Structure 1
Protein backbone atom coordinates (compact mmCIF):
# COMPACT_ATOMS: atom_id res chain seq x y z
CA UNK A 1 0.00 0.00 0.00
CA UNK A 2 1.22 3.45 -0.87
CA UNK A 3 2.22 6.04 1.72
CA UNK A 4 -0.02 8.45 -0.19
CA UNK A 5 -3.22 6.45 -0.80
CA UNK A 6 -5.74 7.29 -3.48
CA UNK A 7 -9.22 8.30 -2.29
CA UNK A 8 -11.91 5.62 -2.54
CA UNK A 9 -13.16 4.94 -6.05
CA UNK A 10 -16.75 5.47 -4.87
CA UNK A 11 -15.94 9.02 -3.68
CA UNK A 12 -14.24 9.85 -6.98
CA UNK A 13 -17.19 8.44 -8.92
CA UNK A 14 -19.70 10.48 -6.90
CA UNK A 15 -17.77 13.70 -7.54
CA UNK A 16 -17.44 12.93 -11.26
CA UNK A 17 -21.22 12.45 -11.45
CA UNK A 18 -21.86 15.62 -9.43
CA UNK A 19 -19.78 17.62 -11.92
CA UNK A 20 -21.49 15.98 -14.90
CA UNK A 21 -18.29 14.54 -16.34
CA UNK A 22 -19.00 11.61 -18.63
CA UNK A 23 -16.20 9.23 -17.75
CA UNK A 24 -15.41 6.44 -15.37
CA UNK A 25 -13.25 6.95 -12.27
CA UNK A 26 -10.50 4.92 -13.96
CA UNK A 27 -10.55 7.06 -17.10
CA UNK A 28 -10.55 10.21 -14.97
CA UNK A 29 -7.56 8.97 -12.99
CA UNK A 30 -5.78 8.10 -16.23
CA UNK A 31 -6.44 11.64 -17.44
CA UNK A 32 -5.04 13.16 -14.24
CA UNK A 33 -1.95 10.95 -14.44
CA UNK A 34 -1.47 11.69 -18.14
CA UNK A 35 -1.59 15.40 -17.38
CA UNK A 36 0.91 15.05 -14.55
CA UNK A 37 3.24 12.71 -16.45
CA UNK A 38 3.26 15.04 -19.45
CA UNK A 39 4.35 17.98 -17.32
CA UNK A 40 0.95 19.61 -16.84
CA UNK A 41 0.76 22.05 -13.97
CA UNK A 42 -1.45 21.58 -10.93
CA UNK A 43 -2.67 25.16 -10.56
CA UNK A 44 -6.19 26.02 -9.40
CA UNK A 45 -7.56 25.47 -12.93
CA UNK A 46 -6.02 22.00 -13.32
CA UNK A 47 -9.39 20.28 -13.84
CA UNK A 48 -10.37 22.60 -16.69
CA UNK A 49 -6.98 22.05 -18.32
CA UNK A 50 -7.01 18.25 -17.89
CA UNK A 51 -10.53 18.05 -19.33
CA UNK A 52 -9.86 20.73 -21.99
CA UNK A 53 -13.00 22.55 -20.83
CA UNK A 54 -12.55 26.13 -19.65
CA UNK A 55 -16.11 26.13 -18.25
CA UNK A 56 -15.14 23.75 -15.44
CA UNK A 57 -14.69 25.43 -12.08
CA UNK A 58 -11.74 24.83 -9.77
CA UNK A 59 -12.26 21.95 -7.39
CA UNK A 60 -11.87 22.53 -3.65
CA UNK A 61 -8.64 21.25 -2.10
CA UNK A 62 -10.55 18.72 -0.01
CA UNK A 63 -12.55 17.34 -2.94
CA UNK A 64 -12.01 13.66 -3.83
CA UNK A 65 -10.80 14.80 -7.25
CA UNK A 66 -8.15 17.10 -5.84
CA UNK A 67 -7.15 14.46 -3.30
CA UNK A 68 -6.76 12.03 -6.22
CA UNK A 69 -4.60 14.54 -8.10
CA UNK A 70 -2.44 15.27 -5.07
CA UNK A 71 -1.98 11.58 -4.18
CA UNK A 72 -1.11 10.72 -7.79
CA UNK A 73 1.40 13.56 -8.01
CA UNK A 74 3.01 12.48 -4.75
CA UNK A 75 3.21 8.85 -5.84
CA UNK A 76 4.80 9.80 -9.18
CA UNK A 77 7.29 12.16 -7.54
CA UNK A 78 8.26 9.69 -4.82
CA UNK A 79 9.58 7.16 -7.36
CA UNK A 80 9.16 4.32 -4.87
CA UNK A 81 7.29 2.21 -7.42
CA UNK A 82 4.19 2.49 -5.24
CA UNK A 83 2.32 4.35 -7.98
CA UNK A 84 -1.25 3.00 -8.09
CA UNK A 85 -3.95 2.95 -10.74
CA UNK A 86 -7.53 3.64 -9.63
CA UNK A 87 -9.20 0.38 -10.62
CA UNK A 88 -12.17 -1.74 -9.56
CA UNK A 89 -11.39 -4.18 -6.77
CA UNK A 90 -10.28 -7.77 -7.25
CA UNK A 91 -13.88 -8.88 -6.62
CA UNK A 92 -14.96 -7.26 -9.93
CA UNK A 93 -15.10 -9.46 -12.99
CA UNK A 94 -12.39 -9.69 -15.63
CA UNK A 95 -14.46 -7.70 -18.13
CA UNK A 96 -15.00 -4.83 -15.69
CA UNK A 97 -11.35 -4.72 -14.61
CA UNK A 98 -9.91 -4.99 -18.12
CA UNK A 99 -12.39 -2.39 -19.38
CA UNK A 100 -11.34 -0.06 -16.57
CA UNK A 101 -7.66 -0.54 -17.46
CA UNK A 102 -8.31 0.29 -21.11
CA UNK A 103 -10.39 3.33 -20.03
CA UNK A 104 -7.49 4.38 -17.78
CA UNK A 105 -5.13 4.19 -20.76
CA UNK A 106 -7.54 6.23 -22.95
CA UNK A 107 -7.64 8.97 -20.33
CA UNK A 108 -3.88 8.88 -19.89
CA UNK A 109 -3.03 9.10 -23.59
CA UNK A 110 -5.38 12.04 -24.21
CA UNK A 111 -4.25 14.13 -21.27
CA UNK A 112 -0.58 13.24 -21.79
CA UNK A 113 -0.88 14.64 -25.32
CA UNK A 114 -2.48 17.83 -23.98
CA UNK A 115 0.25 18.36 -21.39
CA UNK A 116 3.35 17.20 -23.27
CA UNK A 117 2.34 18.19 -26.79
CA UNK A 118 5.07 17.64 -29.33
CA UNK A 119 7.73 19.27 -27.14
CA UNK A 120 8.42 16.21 -25.01
CA UNK A 121 11.90 14.78 -25.24
CA UNK A 122 11.15 11.09 -24.93
CA UNK A 123 13.69 8.31 -24.75
CA UNK A 124 13.29 5.41 -27.16
CA UNK A 125 11.89 3.32 -24.28
CA UNK A 126 9.34 6.02 -23.48
CA UNK A 127 8.28 6.33 -27.14
CA UNK A 128 7.72 2.57 -27.27
CA UNK A 129 5.85 2.61 -23.94
CA UNK A 130 3.62 5.45 -25.16
CA UNK A 131 2.88 3.56 -28.38
CA UNK A 132 1.91 0.52 -26.31
CA UNK A 133 -0.35 2.66 -24.11
CA UNK A 134 -2.03 4.00 -27.27
CA UNK A 135 -2.67 0.41 -28.39
CA UNK A 136 -4.10 -0.47 -24.97
CA UNK A 137 -6.33 2.63 -25.12
CA UNK A 138 -7.92 1.17 -28.26
CA UNK A 139 -8.42 -2.32 -26.81
CA UNK A 140 -11.78 -3.80 -25.88
CA UNK A 141 -12.56 -5.69 -22.70
CA UNK A 142 -13.19 -9.38 -23.07
CA UNK A 143 -16.30 -10.88 -21.51
CA UNK A 144 -14.84 -14.00 -20.00
CA UNK A 145 -11.47 -15.39 -19.17
CA UNK A 146 -9.54 -17.93 -17.21
CA UNK A 147 -6.68 -17.79 -14.76
CA UNK A 148 -4.23 -17.17 -17.60
CA UNK A 149 -6.23 -14.08 -18.64
CA UNK A 150 -6.24 -12.88 -15.02
CA UNK A 151 -2.43 -13.17 -14.91
CA UNK A 152 -2.13 -11.37 -18.25
CA UNK A 153 -4.27 -8.51 -16.94
CA UNK A 154 -2.05 -8.19 -13.86
CA UNK A 155 1.04 -8.07 -16.10
CA UNK A 156 -0.52 -5.42 -18.32
CA UNK A 157 -1.44 -3.34 -15.29
CA UNK A 158 2.14 -3.58 -14.04
CA UNK A 159 3.42 -2.57 -17.48
CA UNK A 160 1.11 0.48 -17.45
CA UNK A 161 2.41 1.54 -14.02
CA UNK A 162 6.04 1.29 -15.18
CA UNK A 163 5.30 3.02 -18.50
CA UNK A 164 3.69 5.95 -16.69
CA UNK A 165 6.65 6.32 -14.34
CA UNK A 166 9.03 6.17 -17.31
CA UNK A 167 7.11 8.89 -19.19
CA UNK A 168 6.90 11.03 -16.04
CA UNK A 169 10.65 10.60 -15.63
CA UNK A 170 11.35 11.82 -19.17
CA UNK A 171 8.87 14.71 -19.16
CA UNK A 172 9.01 15.96 -15.57
CA UNK A 173 11.93 14.59 -13.57
CA UNK A 174 14.64 14.79 -16.25
CA UNK A 175 13.96 18.49 -17.03
CA UNK A 176 14.03 19.27 -13.27
CA UNK A 177 17.40 17.57 -12.93
CA UNK A 178 18.77 19.39 -15.99
CA UNK A 179 17.67 22.73 -14.45
CA UNK A 180 19.60 21.93 -11.27
CA UNK A 181 22.82 21.72 -13.28
CA UNK A 182 22.33 24.95 -15.24
Structure 2
Protein backbone atom coordinates (compact mmCIF):
# COMPACT_ATOMS: atom_id res chain seq x y z
CA UNK A 1 0.00 0.00 0.00
CA UNK A 2 1.44 3.37 -0.90
CA UNK A 3 1.92 5.93 1.83
CA UNK A 4 -0.86 8.49 2.40
CA UNK A 5 1.53 11.33 1.56
CA UNK A 6 2.39 9.67 -1.79
CA UNK A 7 -1.28 9.39 -2.69
CA UNK A 8 -1.94 12.98 -1.58
CA UNK A 9 0.95 14.20 -3.76
CA UNK A 10 -0.39 12.26 -6.76
CA UNK A 11 -3.89 13.68 -6.17
CA UNK A 12 -2.46 17.21 -6.15
CA UNK A 13 -0.37 16.50 -9.26
CA UNK A 14 -3.48 15.28 -11.12
CA UNK A 15 -5.62 18.13 -9.67
CA UNK A 16 -8.29 15.73 -8.40
CA UNK A 17 -10.97 17.15 -6.10
CA UNK A 18 -10.51 14.55 -3.38
CA UNK A 19 -8.38 13.75 -0.36
CA UNK A 20 -6.41 10.52 -0.12
CA UNK A 21 -8.79 9.01 2.48
CA UNK A 22 -11.87 9.95 0.44
CA UNK A 23 -10.36 8.60 -2.79
CA UNK A 24 -9.34 5.36 -1.06
CA UNK A 25 -12.86 5.09 0.34
CA UNK A 26 -14.27 5.59 -3.17
CA UNK A 27 -12.01 2.89 -4.56
CA UNK A 28 -12.92 0.45 -1.77
CA UNK A 29 -16.63 1.22 -2.14
CA UNK A 30 -16.36 0.62 -5.88
CA UNK A 31 -14.59 -2.69 -5.33
CA UNK A 32 -16.88 -3.79 -2.47
CA UNK A 33 -19.93 -3.03 -4.61
CA UNK A 34 -18.68 -5.25 -7.42
CA UNK A 35 -16.86 -2.68 -9.56
CA UNK A 36 -14.12 -4.04 -11.77
CA UNK A 37 -10.55 -3.61 -10.45
CA UNK A 38 -9.46 -1.79 -13.62
CA UNK A 39 -6.55 0.63 -13.93
CA UNK A 40 -9.07 3.31 -15.03
CA UNK A 41 -10.70 3.26 -11.59
CA UNK A 42 -10.33 7.02 -10.87
CA UNK A 43 -12.46 7.80 -13.93
CA UNK A 44 -15.06 5.32 -12.68
CA UNK A 45 -15.26 6.43 -9.04
CA UNK A 46 -14.98 10.16 -9.79
CA UNK A 47 -17.41 9.82 -12.72
CA UNK A 48 -15.08 11.66 -15.08
CA UNK A 49 -14.30 9.86 -18.33
CA UNK A 50 -11.64 12.45 -19.17
CA UNK A 51 -9.34 11.14 -16.42
CA UNK A 52 -6.52 9.01 -17.75
CA UNK A 53 -5.69 5.69 -16.13
CA UNK A 54 -2.93 6.01 -13.53
CA UNK A 55 0.48 5.02 -14.83
CA UNK A 56 1.54 1.51 -14.01
CA UNK A 57 3.38 1.53 -10.68
CA UNK A 58 2.16 5.01 -9.75
CA UNK A 59 0.79 5.59 -6.23
CA UNK A 60 -2.81 5.36 -7.48
CA UNK A 61 -2.10 2.16 -9.40
CA UNK A 62 -0.40 0.66 -6.33
CA UNK A 63 -3.35 1.77 -4.20
CA UNK A 64 -5.71 -0.18 -6.49
CA UNK A 65 -3.52 -3.27 -6.49
CA UNK A 66 -3.07 -3.25 -2.70
CA UNK A 67 -6.77 -2.60 -2.04
CA UNK A 68 -7.88 -5.44 -4.31
CA UNK A 69 -5.42 -7.80 -2.62
CA UNK A 70 -6.50 -6.76 0.88
CA UNK A 71 -10.21 -7.16 0.12
CA UNK A 72 -9.62 -10.61 -1.39
CA UNK A 73 -7.31 -11.78 1.43
CA UNK A 74 -9.00 -14.29 3.72
CA UNK A 75 -6.94 -13.12 6.71
CA UNK A 76 -9.05 -9.93 6.93
CA UNK A 77 -5.91 -7.78 6.74
CA UNK A 78 -7.73 -4.82 5.21
CA UNK A 79 -6.53 -1.32 6.16
CA UNK A 80 -8.13 2.09 5.70
CA UNK A 81 -5.92 4.86 4.31
CA UNK A 82 -6.03 7.34 7.19
CA UNK A 83 -3.59 9.67 8.95
CA UNK A 84 -1.37 8.02 11.56
CA UNK A 85 -2.00 7.93 15.30
CA UNK A 86 0.31 10.93 15.76
CA UNK A 87 -2.09 13.20 13.80
CA UNK A 88 -4.59 15.27 15.81
CA UNK A 89 -7.91 13.61 16.62
CA UNK A 90 -9.84 16.16 14.55
CA UNK A 91 -7.74 15.33 11.48
CA UNK A 92 -8.06 11.56 11.94
CA UNK A 93 -11.81 11.61 12.59
CA UNK A 94 -12.40 14.01 9.68
CA UNK A 95 -10.42 11.71 7.39
CA UNK A 96 -12.46 8.71 8.57
CA UNK A 97 -15.72 10.52 7.80
CA UNK A 98 -14.31 11.52 4.38
CA UNK A 99 -13.37 7.87 3.79
CA UNK A 100 -16.96 6.86 4.55
CA UNK A 101 -18.36 9.50 2.16
CA UNK A 102 -16.08 8.23 -0.58
CA UNK A 103 -17.01 4.63 0.16
CA UNK A 104 -20.73 5.32 -0.15
CA UNK A 105 -20.28 7.06 -3.51
CA UNK A 106 -18.12 4.30 -4.96
CA UNK A 107 -20.35 1.58 -3.55
CA UNK A 108 -23.49 3.17 -4.99
CA UNK A 109 -21.89 3.52 -8.42
CA UNK A 110 -20.84 -0.13 -8.52
CA UNK A 111 -23.67 -1.89 -6.66
CA UNK A 112 -26.59 0.14 -7.98
CA UNK A 113 -29.78 1.10 -6.22
CA UNK A 114 -30.79 -2.31 -4.88
CA UNK A 115 -27.83 -4.59 -4.23
CA UNK A 116 -28.45 -8.03 -2.73
CA UNK A 117 -27.38 -7.51 0.87
CA UNK A 118 -27.74 -9.50 4.03
CA UNK A 119 -29.53 -7.91 6.96
CA UNK A 120 -26.13 -7.26 8.60
CA UNK A 121 -24.78 -5.57 5.47
CA UNK A 122 -27.88 -3.43 5.11
CA UNK A 123 -27.47 -2.27 8.70
CA UNK A 124 -23.73 -1.68 8.21
CA UNK A 125 -24.40 0.39 5.09
CA UNK A 126 -26.84 2.55 7.06
CA UNK A 127 -24.25 3.01 9.81
CA UNK A 128 -21.64 4.03 7.22
CA UNK A 129 -24.11 6.60 5.87
CA UNK A 130 -24.52 8.06 9.37
CA UNK A 131 -20.74 8.26 9.75
CA UNK A 132 -20.46 9.96 6.37
CA UNK A 133 -22.74 12.74 7.68
CA UNK A 134 -20.71 13.20 10.87
CA UNK A 135 -18.38 16.12 11.47
CA UNK A 136 -15.05 16.04 13.26
CA UNK A 137 -14.81 17.67 16.68
CA UNK A 138 -11.99 20.07 17.46
CA UNK A 139 -10.84 18.43 20.68
CA UNK A 140 -11.19 15.14 22.47
CA UNK A 141 -9.98 13.01 25.32
CA UNK A 142 -8.96 9.40 25.83
CA UNK A 143 -12.58 8.26 25.54
CA UNK A 144 -12.82 9.95 22.14
CA UNK A 145 -9.57 8.27 21.07
CA UNK A 146 -10.97 4.87 22.08
CA UNK A 147 -14.26 5.59 20.32
CA UNK A 148 -12.44 6.54 17.11
CA UNK A 149 -10.46 3.29 17.22
CA UNK A 150 -13.71 1.33 17.59
CA UNK A 151 -15.34 3.23 14.73
CA UNK A 152 -12.32 2.60 12.48
CA UNK A 153 -12.55 -1.12 13.24
CA UNK A 154 -16.29 -1.10 12.53
CA UNK A 155 -15.72 0.62 9.15
CA UNK A 156 -13.01 -1.89 8.27
CA UNK A 157 -15.23 -4.87 9.11
CA UNK A 158 -18.31 -3.32 7.43
CA UNK A 159 -16.29 -2.90 4.23
CA UNK A 160 -15.28 -6.56 4.30
CA UNK A 161 -18.87 -7.60 5.02
CA UNK A 162 -20.24 -5.59 2.10
CA UNK A 163 -17.51 -6.92 -0.19
CA UNK A 164 -18.45 -10.43 0.93
CA UNK A 165 -22.11 -9.91 0.08
CA UNK A 166 -21.65 -8.14 -3.24
CA UNK A 167 -18.52 -9.77 -4.64
CA UNK A 168 -17.63 -13.01 -2.91
CA UNK A 169 -21.23 -14.27 -2.57
CA UNK A 170 -21.96 -13.39 -6.22
CA UNK A 171 -18.78 -15.18 -7.29
CA UNK A 172 -19.80 -18.22 -5.23
CA UNK A 173 -23.32 -18.23 -6.76
CA UNK A 174 -21.78 -18.14 -10.24
CA UNK A 175 -19.49 -21.08 -9.50
CA UNK A 176 -22.49 -23.13 -8.37
CA UNK A 177 -24.37 -22.52 -11.63
Matched, 1:116 2:116: no
Contact 2:39–2:64 (Cα < 8 Å) also in 1:
no
Q: CA deviation at 1:119?
A: 4.2
The residue that corresponds to 1:15 in the other structure is: 10
Matched, 1:158 2:149: no
Query: Aligned partners of 1:119, 1:11: CA distance in 2, in Å?
Result: 35
**Correspondence for 1:79 among 71, 74, 78:** 74
The residue that corresponds to 1:30 in the other structure is: 25
Matches within 5 A, 1:6-155: 6-155=1-150
Q: CA deviation at 1:86?
A: 0.4
Q: CA deviation at 1:22?
A: 1.5
User: What SS class does the counterpart of residue 59 from structure 1 fall into?
Assistant: coil
Gapped regions of structure 1 (runs ≥ 5): 1-5
Matched, 1:174 2:130: no
Gapped regions of structure 2 (runs ≥ 5): none
Give the TM-score of the pair, scaled to structure 2: 0.98
Q: CA deviation at 1:43?
A: 2.4
Q: CA deviation at 1:175?
A: 0.6
Give the TM-score of the pair, scaled to structure 1: 0.95
Q: Tell me how large the CA RMSD over aligned residues is.
A: 0.8
Q: CA deviation at 1:118?
A: 2.1
Q: Give the length in aligned residue pairs.
A: 177
Which deviations, in whole Å up to 9, do the C-alpha atoms of 1:30-50 show, x marking residues without a partner? 001000000001224222111
Which deviations, in whole Å up to 9, do the C-alpha atoms of 1:55-90 show, x marking residues without a partner? 101111201001011101100001312100001011
User: What SS class does the counterpart of residue 35 from structure 1 fall into?
Assistant: helix
Q: CA deviation at 1:171?
A: 0.4
